[in-house]
Structure 1
Amino acid sequence: MTTNPYAGSPFGYAAEPAVGPYSIVELMPGVRNLLDYAGVAAGERVLLLMEHTVDPVVVQAVAAAAALRDADVRILSVPPFSAGGWDRQASLRIETAAFHEADVVISGTWWGEVHTAPLFFDQIKSRTARWLSLHMTATAGALMTGGRLPAEVFYALLRRALRQLSPARTIRMTSGGGTDVTFSGLTFDPDPGAMRPGDWRPFPYGGANFWPDDTEGVIVIEDSTVTGVPEEPVTLTLEGNQVRKIEGGVAAEHLRRYAPEGYYMRHALLGLNPKVRVSGGTQFEREKHAGSFYCGIDGLTGGMPVTTGPGFAHCDCQFDRPTVLVDGELFIEKGRLLMLDDPEIRQVAERFGPPEMILDDNPVMVLPRRHTGAARTA
């Protein structure tokens, strides 16, 4: 029997299953955490920038919860965004104008608004809005799983991770598929704390993001933005932080066509959220799962890396069960984030319920709503 490797690679929200109206009840713990993370307050102008194909129950849940906080809510339904500037001539004047008038933007886009120049990071940072992105995660499944982890637990994991990661000289990632790549010259996103004007954050919260000055080694793609799960191995050879060679079958040619000028390594992320699902999750959910790893190669501009704007060919490569060494010390072992067993982390988790439940990284189990942050145990 043959299988279609692209079957598990949905192209957008239109390919995601809808949920029943009553499931809105089960979305609310995740939506509460979302609004707490964004710091939505009474009287603020909140823009829900949602693609036409987002499940209406998800939109209703977020809008109703924001309205309950007495926020001034607007819902703008927009066409799906294209990946990596595929449709560079698309007009985003309406989206941009609405964004400029908002205090908080909650976006439900599949490919992420940051793939476009008018809504790229530099534009977000130049405004006063706080931007929370549900990049591939404006789904009931994402809100019921990763969205349920209490923010305090995530922050504890992030702080603990950054203590070890920030001073590191090298991060080496290997996988069962043959990947063996080393990153150096590392710059990490700091612990962000409360959202501030000009901030962009993903939700569900998920990982420790970094930018390398140098990347050396081989990446064997298991799942990526451009290829999905390739039919035959696609191998990237990196030297001096640039992709020097792309080898493989049809998927390799797709990847070369996507960025004719070539690629460089833009950033990478180590997943920290144990409640993010792997089973049934999109690529940008699974990247946040505790013990996962992904790295983003971006298109060269004029043959050079340009980090101040979109490369218009961003391709993320996902690894669900990697092994990660930080300066030679095990950090993730075959998809298991070792710090989940740290007594410091377990003490924080215990405020919300049994630590063995809060921190369990089973990729299919849903956290009961009583442990999601509303009512803390004594």
Structure 2
Amino acid sequence: MTDWAAIQVAKAADNIVNTSLAVRPGELVAVAADHNSDHAVVDALLAAVAAAGAEGTLLVQPARARAGEPANRIVAAALAGADVIISPTSTALSFTPELKQALNRGARAIVMTGVTRAELTGGAGIADYEEVHRITKPLADAITAGSRIRVTSQQGSDLTASLEGVTCGVGASFAREPGQISSYPSGEAWSAPATGTGQGVLVADGSAHQLGKLREPIRVHFDQGRAVRIEGGDQAGELRRMIDGVENGDNLGEISIGTNPAARFLGNITEDKKQVGTVHFALGNSVVGGTVKAPIHVDLLLLTPTVEVDGEILVQDGKIVKVA
């Protein structure tokens, strides 16, 4: 890594620590990584934590085999003592019970799944997050106030789900208060549809956790919030094997809208799903606010969807209509 690149990574890490998380002197910060993390990113985060006057502790576990798989006992115990958690793991730590328990105790967290120095210093990572918040908030408000969501696409998606009791989160890389969690890079209005209500089909044509860029569309058919059939090519078969036998692995655990104007399509779902006007859905564990627990959470991306809430169009063919 050149000196210039190191400076850019350091600036991004400083932004995460000081702006996204507002880390204070004396706080205990856990940086939870795994063997496949980009350790240039990890080192920069630890340096930024130290510069903020906080105490950083590095946790490194073997990479989990599946996105959302629980942390090991050592990491789980360590998270319990953290005021702040930063997670640049290669597969998502964000949906593990251990992280949720830490949040319930008052920790705050930024999740950076699969983020390398390249993602940290370009695209979604260098967005104007005040602008991201401006785009995200009216979408989240509309979903929270709504009773029913419909997602369609020219690729064949047509799914409806209830929003009764649903609170949509504003993902704009800010987690400054106890119990808050966001991602970095960020940019999404995220929600879990009401349990057991997803009905229809969603056709992913972008990328997915652990599958990367999709070579051909994956069609996931839902009945009462459960994936009952998955169709497509080899990657659809991989997805079936990924969730096969996993408790609640077939649950529709998320429907979210991307809101980051700087996000690029890289074949890395962490950044891809932040693109403005995209939709991603998840199989497995529900996002924060949902009720279904599973040891897996797999995101799949729709590139040019249309989203309606109670008949009002929020997104039309991949372009956001609902703005502040």
TM-score interval for Structure 1 and Structure 2 normalised by the shorter chain: 0.7 to 0.9
Report if the CA contact (8 A) 1:26-1:144 is conserved. Answer: no
Shift of 1:104: 1.1
Partner of 2:72: 92
SS in 2 for 1:244: strand
Partner of 2:269: 283
Matched, 1:242 2:219: no
Report if the CA contact (8 A) 1:33-1:150 is conserved. Answer: no
Matched, 1:205 2:186: yes
Once residues 190 and 246 of structure 1 are traced to their aligned partners in structure 2, the CA distance between those partners, rounded to angstroms, is 28
Report if the CA contact (8 A) 2:36-2:89 is conserved. Answer: no
Partner of 1:62: 45
Partner of 1:48: 31
Which residue identity lines up with residue 42 of structure 1 in the other structure? Answer: P
Going from structure 1 to structure 2, the CA distance change for 1:194 and 1:62 (only over 3 Å counts) comes to: closer
Q: 2:241 aligns with which of 257, 272, 275?
A: 257
Partner of 1:159: 137
Matched, 1:325 2:308: yes
Going from structure 1 to structure 2, the CA distance change for 1:337 and 1:97 (only over 3 Å counts) comes to: same
Going from structure 1 to structure 2, the CA distance change for 1:277 and 1:308 (only over 3 Å counts) comes to: same
Between structure 1 and structure 2, the one with the greater Rg is: 1
Once residues 152 and 9 of structure 2 are traced to their aligned partners in structure 1, the CA distance between those partners, rounded to angstroms, is 36
Shift of 1:226: 5.5
Shift of 1:191: 4.8
Report if the CA contact (8 A) 2:32-2:87 is conserved. Answer: yes
Cα distance per residue 1:207-258 (max 9 Å; x no partner): 1111212112112232333554555543222122122223344444333333
Matched, 1:77 2:60: yes
Once residues 74 and 294 of structure 1 are traced to their aligned partners in structure 2, the CA distance between those partners, rounded to angstroms, is 33
Going from structure 1 to structure 2, the CA distance change for 1:333 and 1:227 (only over 3 Å counts) comes to: same
TM-score by length of 2: 0.83
Partner of 1:356: none
CA RMSD of aligned residues (A): 2.9
Partner of 1:188: 167
Going from structure 1 to structure 2, the CA distance change for 1:144 and 1:104 (only over 3 Å counts) comes to: same
Cα distance per residue 1:31-56 (max 9 Å; x no partner): 33312111211121222122233333
Shift of 1:277: 2.1
% same residue: 27
Q: How many residues align?
A: 311
Once residues 179 and 241 of structure 1 are traced to their aligned partners in structure 2, the CA distance between those partners, rounded to angstroms, is 15
Once residues 284 and 160 of structure 1 are traced to their aligned partners in structure 2, the CA distance between those partners, rounded to angstroms, is 22
Deviates more, 1:58-67 or 1:252-261: 252-261
* Aligned counterparts, 1:302-341, within 5 A: 307=291, 309=293, 311-339=294-322
Once residues 105 and 99 of structure 1 are traced to their aligned partners in structure 2, the CA distance between those partners, rounded to angstroms, is 7
Once residues 11 and 145 of structure 2 are traced to their aligned partners in structure 1, the CA distance between those partners, rounded to angstroms, is 36
Matched, 1:23 2:5: yes
Report if the CA contact (8 A) 2:22-2:176 is conserved. Answer: yes
Which residue identity lines up with residue 15 of structure 2 in the other structure? Answer: N
Once residues 118 and 214 of structure 2 are traced to their aligned partners in structure 1, the CA distance between those partners, rounded to angstroms, is 27
Q: 1:267 aligns with which of 250, 254, 258?
A: 254
Shift of 1:106: 0.8
Going from structure 1 to structure 2, the CA distance change for 1:85 and 1:49 (only over 3 Å counts) comes to: closer
Which residue identity lines up with residue 292 of structure 1 in the other structure? Answer: T
Once residues 159 and 230 of structure 1 are traced to their aligned partners in structure 2, the CA distance between those partners, rounded to angstroms, is 30
Going from structure 1 to structure 2, the CA distance change for 1:281 and 1:60 (only over 3 Å counts) comes to: farther
Shift of 1:107: 0.9
Once residues 137 and 216 of structure 2 are traced to their aligned partners in structure 1, the CA distance between those partners, rounded to angstroms, is 39
Deviates more, 1:265-274 or 1:217-226: 217-226
Going from structure 1 to structure 2, the CA distance change for 1:106 and 1:138 (only over 3 Å counts) comes to: farther
Once residues 55 and 236 of structure 1 are traced to their aligned partners in structure 2, the CA distance between those partners, rounded to angstroms, is 32
Matched, 1:174 2:170: no
SS in 1 for 2:113: coil
SS in 2 for 1:183: strand
Once residues 308 and 170 of structure 1 are traced to their aligned partners in structure 2, the CA distance between those partners, rounded to angstroms, is 19
SS in 2 for 1:25: helix
SS in 2 for 1:212: coil
TM-score by length of 1: 0.72
Once residues 293 and 40 of structure 1 are traced to their aligned partners in structure 2, the CA distance between those partners, rounded to angstroms, is 31
Q: 1:104 aligns with which of 84, 91, 96?
A: 84
SS in 2 for 1:316: strand
Partner of 2:106: 128
Structure 2 unaligned runs (5+)?
none
Report if the CA contact (8 A) 2:226-2:250 is conserved. Answer: yes
Report if the CA contact (8 A) 2:36-2:90 is conserved. Answer: no
Once residues 53 and 167 of structure 2 are traced to their aligned partners in structure 1, the CA distance between those partners, rounded to angstroms, is 36
